[in-house]
């Protein structure tokens, strides 16, 4: 049933009898570093009788946060219901699709680390689409439109604005239509939408409920372009039928398109899937997210690079337009998988509350996303968090090993919101030489430079012999404060600044323990020199 074929430089498998079910071999699913690198090429699993859902991005840019959410909801639905997740690249728009975009989408999905079960590329299934279109034509439910392609935008600038069909062209006789086609005259194939019959197109949406629309309000949309390429509507439906998609979960911007799709499903004799439309993600100004207007904040990789944990990002996206209805906010992937249901999906658009003119990188994100990320960071076991922080620190150029990272991690865990924050919170533990700081910082509350100097000199002498562990350090330094006749805080602050280069830092004893005697004494010495 399966044979190898070659499309471009990609090795693919195709179904012999139709040549339309094409599976790719190059995707993050396979590249995944997870386990064995030679995962067999995926095939349609006919033994799984659960729901089949698909994520169908069109590769015209990077992976958008809205698309990511759609992917996540589909994935959650499939996993929740023991179904199958299909990834389909809807790349029928040759003009706008780029390979870089395909890579970029894979890059985003790879970070999310949610796997799909089957993968298809629409441009390799053109024969199926065309076959479907011509079947509809043969049934008399589509017609050739020989009108030259027009620039649609101009057309609708007129005040009546309503284009439904070009009068006359629908009524062209089959004979004449065939003759002109045979003569090589270019044409688009259009769906013959029922007119003047009072017919209603209806479907039931899992989120928006019963939907109905007068057929005569639907325009005669194109199925095939004059170059023979299928349009999105046709390709999407033909593929959904062929791939036996049972649930179409997608953005609400397709809600009105669905009436056309129902028409195609019925004309093609396919089973109409269950639809569930998702409320759109919009910018704080209420407009649709766009890269041009809103910048990198709409790209998934921006979140990755800023230090979001994928599970926190997923958690955040899930909360936009969906609710478990039990006041839960922070949820693990497992919990999401258990709690997710289409009933919990909201109907109103959700604002993703980022700062329009991105001030500091940290402030540009939706505060809730940042908070959730911090929650997920704190929920991680130390070893796990340490393992995630290590590459961040290493990529920043610090020659640190896993053992050192594990010691530093407890000090930063409650002080970072994004993983990248480790670089600013633990900076003094990563460098040999502290960056310059203001000596005035060394002066304790209600004290003066002389007191700072006495504190540091005292510290220098006691720390030379004390064991560098939390409890002994605690004891010795408190005793020292008493000897000097000052408060513990007045004792700790100059040391903290001497060692960390700033006033706000992790607790002192733990810090000294991690830093070690040698560096501590050097830094105290340097601080004394500044006074």
Partner RNA sequence: GGCGCUAUCGUCUAGGGGUUAGGACGGAAGAUUCUCAAUCUUCAAACCCGGGUUCGAUUCCCGGUAGCGCUACCA
Active centre residues (catalytic)? 291
CB of 348 to RNA, least distance (A): 3
CB of 273 to RNA, least distance (A): 17
255 is a site residue for RNA (CB under 7 A): yes
Structure tokens given for 36: 């064995």
Show contacts with RNA in window 36-55 (CB under 7 A): none
CB of 132 to RNA, least distance (A): 15
Show contacts with RNA in window 464-493 (CB under 7 A): 488-489, 492-493
With CB under 7 A as the contact rule, the residue among 25, 32, 257, 404 that binds RNA is 257
Cross-strand pairs, 201:
213
197 is a site residue for RNA (CB under 7 A): no
Q: How many residues bind RNA (CB under 7 A)?
A: 90
- x/- track of binding to RNA for residues 369-408 (CB under 7 A): -xx--x---x------------------------------
Selected range binding RNA among 131-139, 174-182, 306-314, 319-327, rule: CB under 7 A = 319-327
CB atoms within 10 A of CB 60: 15
Within its chain, how far is the Cα of 213 from the centroid? Answer: 34
With CB under 7 A as the contact rule, the residue among 63, 109, 114, 188 that binds RNA is 188
Show contacts with RNA in window 123-152 (CB under 7 A): 145, 147-150, 152
Structure tokens given for 316: 């955040």
CB of 414 to RNA, least distance (A): 4
Nearer to RNA by Cβ, of 384 and 471: the residue is: 471
- x/- track of binding to RNA for residues 167-186 (CB under 7 A): -------------------x
446 is a site residue for RNA (CB under 7 A): no
Residue 119 in 3-state DSSP?
strand
- x/- track of binding to RNA for residues 272-311 (CB under 7 A): -------xx-x-x-xxx-----------------------
Q: Any residues with CB less than 8 A from the CB of 184 and at least 6 apart, and which?
A: none
Nearer to RNA by Cβ, of 13 and 120: the residue is: 120
Nearer to RNA by Cβ, of 2 and 96: the residue is: 96
Residue 113 in 3-state DSSP?
coil
Nearer to RNA by Cβ, of 13 and 262: the residue is: 262
Structure tokens given for 406: 């594990």
CB of 270 to RNA, least distance (A): 18
Q: Which is nearest to 276 in space by CA: 346, 349, 336?
A: 346
Place of tokens 């209805």: 325
Cross-strand pairs, 121:
89
187 is a site residue for RNA (CB under 7 A): yes
Selected range binding RNA among 132-140, 192-200, 253-261, 427-435, rule: CB under 7 A = 253-261
CB of 447 to RNA, least distance (A): 13
Instruction: Render 294-319 in DSSP notation, one character per residue.
Output: HGGGGBHHHHHHHT--HHHHHHHHHT
349 is a site residue for RNA (CB under 7 A): yes
254 is a site residue for RNA (CB under 7 A): yes
Show contacts with RNA in window 510-529 (CB under 7 A): 510
- CA torsion through residues 224, 230, 236, 239, sign: positive
Distance CA 70, CA 230 (A): 24
346 is a site residue for RNA (CB under 7 A): yes
With CB under 7 A as the contact rule, the residue among 140, 269, 361, 367 that binds RNA is 367
With CB under 7 A as the contact rule, the residue among 22, 70, 84, 92 that binds RNA is 92
Structure tokens given for 477: 């330094």
Query: If residue 104 lies in a helix (H) or strand (E), which one and from where to where?
Result: helix 99-112
User: Phi and psi at residue 120, in whole multiples of 5°?
Assistant: -140, 160
Cα angle vertex 81, ends 75, 85, to 5°? Answer: 35
Burial class (CB in 10 A: 0-12, 13-18, 19+), 429: buried
Residue 130 in 3-state DSSP?
helix
Within its chain, how far is the Cα of 473 from the centroid? Answer: 46
């Amino acid at each position: 049933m399966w044979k190898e074929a070659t499309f471009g430089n990609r090795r693919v498998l195709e179904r012999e009898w139709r040549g339309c079910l094409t599976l790719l071999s190059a995707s993050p699913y396979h590249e995944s570093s997870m386990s064995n690198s030679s995962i067999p090429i995926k095939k349609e699993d006919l033994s799984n009788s659960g729901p089949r859902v698909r994520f169908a991005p069109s590769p015209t840019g990077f992976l958008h946060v809205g698309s990511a959410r759609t992917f996540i909801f589909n994935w959650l639905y499939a996993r929740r219901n023991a179904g199958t997740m299909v990834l389909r690249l809807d790349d029928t728009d040759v003009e706008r699709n780029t390979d870089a975009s395909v890579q970029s989408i894979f890059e985003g999905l790879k970070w999310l680390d949610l796997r799909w079960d089957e993968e298809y590329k629409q441009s390799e299934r053109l024969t199926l689409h065309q076959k479907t279109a011509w079947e509809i034509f043969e049934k008399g439910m589509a017609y050739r439109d020989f009108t030259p392609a027009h620039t649609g935008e101009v057309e609708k600038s007129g005040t009546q604005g309503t284009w439904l069909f070009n009068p006359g062209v629908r009524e062209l006789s089959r004979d004449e239509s065939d003759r002109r086609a045979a003569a090589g005259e270019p044409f688009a194939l259009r769906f013959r939408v029922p007119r003047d019959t009072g017919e209603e197109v209806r479907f039931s949406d899992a989120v928006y409920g019963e939907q109905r629309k007068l057929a005569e309000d639907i325009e005669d949309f194109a199925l095939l372009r004059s170059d023979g390429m299928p349009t999105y509507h046709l390709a999407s439906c033909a593929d959904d039928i062929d791939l036996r998609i049972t649930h179409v979960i997608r953005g609400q911007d397709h809600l009105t398109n669905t009436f056309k799709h129902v028409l195609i499903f019925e004309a093609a004799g396919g089973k109409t899937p269950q639809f569930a439309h998702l409320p759109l993600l919009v910018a704080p100004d209420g407009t649709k997210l766009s890269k041009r207007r809103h910048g990198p904040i709409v790209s998934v990789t921006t979140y990755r690079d800023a230090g979001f944990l994928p599970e926190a990002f997923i958690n955040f996206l899930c909360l936009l337009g969906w609710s478990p209805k039990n006041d839960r906010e922070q949820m693990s992937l497992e919990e999401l998988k258990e709690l997710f249901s289409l009933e919990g999906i909201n109907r109103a658009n959700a604002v993703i509350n980022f700062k329009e003119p991105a001030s500091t990188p940290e402030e540009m994100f939706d505060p809730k996303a940042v908070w959730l990320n911090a929650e997920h960071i704190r929920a991680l076991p130390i070893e796990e968090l340490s393992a995630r922080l290590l590459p961040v620190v290493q990529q920043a150029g610090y020659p640190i090993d896993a053992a050192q990272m594990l010691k530093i991690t407890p000090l930063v865990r409650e002080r970072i919101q994004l993983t990248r924050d480790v670089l600013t919170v633990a900076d003094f533990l990563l460098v040999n030489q502290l960056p310059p700081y203001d000596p005035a910082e060394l002066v304790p509350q209600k004290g003066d430079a002389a007191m700072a100097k006495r504190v540091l000199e005292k510290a220098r002498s006691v720390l030379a012999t004390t064991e560098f562990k939390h409890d002994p350090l605690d004891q010795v330094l408190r005793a020292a404060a008493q000897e000097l006749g000052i408060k513990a805080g007045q004792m700790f602050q100059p040391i903290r600044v001497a060692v960390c280069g700033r006033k706000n830092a992790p607790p002192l004893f733990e810090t000294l323990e991690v830093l070690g005697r040698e560096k501590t004494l050097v830094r105290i010495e340097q601080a004394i020199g500044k006074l």
